Amino acid sequence: MILAIDIGTTSAKAALFHSDGRCIALERRSIQSYLGNSPLEQEIDPGEWSRALEELLARLSQGRVDGLKNLQCIAISGNGPTLFPVDANGNALHKALTWMDRRAYKESQELLARLGRKLDPAYNLPKALWFKKNREEIYKKTRYFMSCPEYICSLLTDRWVSFLPAPGYEEIIWDNASLDLLGLDRDKFPPFVRLGAIVGGVNSRAAAALGLPAGTPVVAGGPDFIVSLIGTATTKPRRACNRSGTSEGINLCWEKGSPRHKGLLYMPHVVEPYENISGVISSSGRALAWYMDTMNGTPIDQGEFFALAAKAPSGADSLIFLPYLIGERAPIWNPKARACFIGLSLSHGRAEMARAVVESIGFAMRDVIEAMVSTGARVDELRVTGRPSGNAMLNRIKADITQVPIRVPAFGDAELLGDLCVALTTLGQFPDLASAAENLVGFGKCYEPDVSKKTLYDDLFALYRNSYRSLETVFVGLSELSRKSSEP
């Protein structure tokens, strides 16, 4: 059996697989996150991850005669870029700053001045520099800066490492030259291991506490967005993966050497010789949850929410929602952007507002896709994954707004299936990751775009884009007022 573990932003999941790809058992557990003192601050207690691991493994072993004793391998992935410091004993010194946390805005500007390249506050280097400048005592006590999946690996193996998906990713994680220029201590940043590397074996302490066989190889599965590419077989040009959940990620497999768009990220694909062109949307599922929790007086569940949204027509009666509840990354890269409804009138009610929030996900996705297409790249299909991937209404709206077919994998948790592909490749069952993905990834329903809605959504998308551009200076002013009000 193969054990795959993925620690997401709002939920952790683990599954047992046969080596032929069949899922034996799958368990989930929610993760509690925290808002800081401003909308830019998003934190998670690393203890949530270790408690989730314990609960997931207990559930997976329950009722099994041999428990988890027949494991061949454990593969681990998780959310990022998320960063926090640990002391010499591996104890967290501060809550983890999640990939949604963008408090290190000043530090990102300092990076631009010192390194000559822009790095969003969401990434590791600005966060590490923030700790040094704003939490000096914690920085001094820090033995290592860790991210989510690497921390879980350390609990199982006592080894401190950083996952490197492929050569070339150092510039968005860290590299020695950048650490030196920023005055950050090299020895606080663990050495890199490649995707599929065996980090170590399960230690005796973890084996006794979690019911795992001591010595079981633990494999670096990597960041969740990387294993999602593998778990959806987004391993050939023109295929794009749409990671749907708290945020929305669009990752396109394309040939190297294409023209660049400044709003997108270009990194090596884990499958040679291709490139991974990506754009991450900060708030998609988070926007839906916000509406469900706050806009109806009393919270409603997802079924009620989509039933409400379905009462409104396509286009939400000419109502637009900008989903920038925690700023925005691709393609505008503006942590000061704010969410708002555009075009509210007395004719609009809760149904139209709910529909506009759902459609904002499609517009944000189209913003990223059009940036990709503007450079000559092609997006022939979107392979959707994540818990919302089974939602027919959401998939239909995405297809109609982007005018790209949405394909739904037969196994919805691409991170776990990607971990399986990595593990089986490491064990020698497949010659490479692309072969593993092509053999193990299957698909179910496909949502084709409704061409009759193209003109409507073309017009609304143009207004969506113009709304942000017109309000950009307003968002800067609101951000400044918020900063002043939070000062002591």
**151 located within any domain:** yes
Domain count, the chain: 1
Confidence of residue 66 (pLDDT cuts 50, 70, 90): confident
Q: Which pLDDT score is estimated for 160?
A: 97
pLDDT confidence of residue 118: 86
User: Is 47 domain-assigned?
Assistant: yes
| 38 band by pLDDT with thresholds 50, 70 and 90 | confident
Q: Which residues partner with 58 through β-bridges?
A: none
47 within 8 A of 57, measured Cβ to Cβ: no
212 found inside a domain: yes
**Could you read off the pLDDT of 440-462 as tens digits, one per residue?**
999 999 999 999 999 999 999 99
Domain-located, residue 333:
no
Q: Is the pLDDT of residue 315 over 90?
A: yes
Q: Which amino acid is at 176?
A: N
Give the per-residue pLDDT at 306.
Answer: 97
Q: Which residue has the higher pLDDT, 60 or 64?
A: 60
State the CATH number of the domain containing residue 61: 3.30.420.40
Q: What is the pLDDT of residues 147-162, one digit of tens each?
A: 999 999 999 999 999 9
Per-residue exposure over 239-272, b if at least 16 CB sit within 10 Å of its own CB, e if not: bbbbbbbbbbbbbbbbeeeeeebebbbebbbbbe
- Is residue 311 situated within a structural domain? no
204 in any annotated domain: yes
Q: What is the pLDDT of residue 337?
A: 95
Which residues sit opposite 26 in a β-bridge?
Answer: 15
Condensed to tens digits (0 to 9), the pLDDT of residues 177-231 reads 999 999 999 999 999 999 999 999 999 999 999 999 999 999 999 999 999 999 9
Tens-place pLDDT, residues 412-425: 999 999 999 999 99
Tell me the average pLDDT of the chain. Answer: 95
The pLDDT of residue 88: 96
Better-scored residue on pLDDT, 294 or 456: 456
pLDDT at 488 over 70: no
Residue-number span of the structural domain to which 194 is assigned:
2-226
Residue 401: the pLDDT is 98
User: Would residue 236 count as lying in a domain?
Assistant: no
Single out the residue of 472, 423, 376, 390 nearest to residue 222, CA to CA. 423
d(CA 203, CA 113): 44
Would you say the C-alpha torsion 334, 222, 285, 39 has a positive or negative sign?
A: negative
- For residue 224, the model assigns a pLDDT of 93
Residue 321 located in a structural domain: no
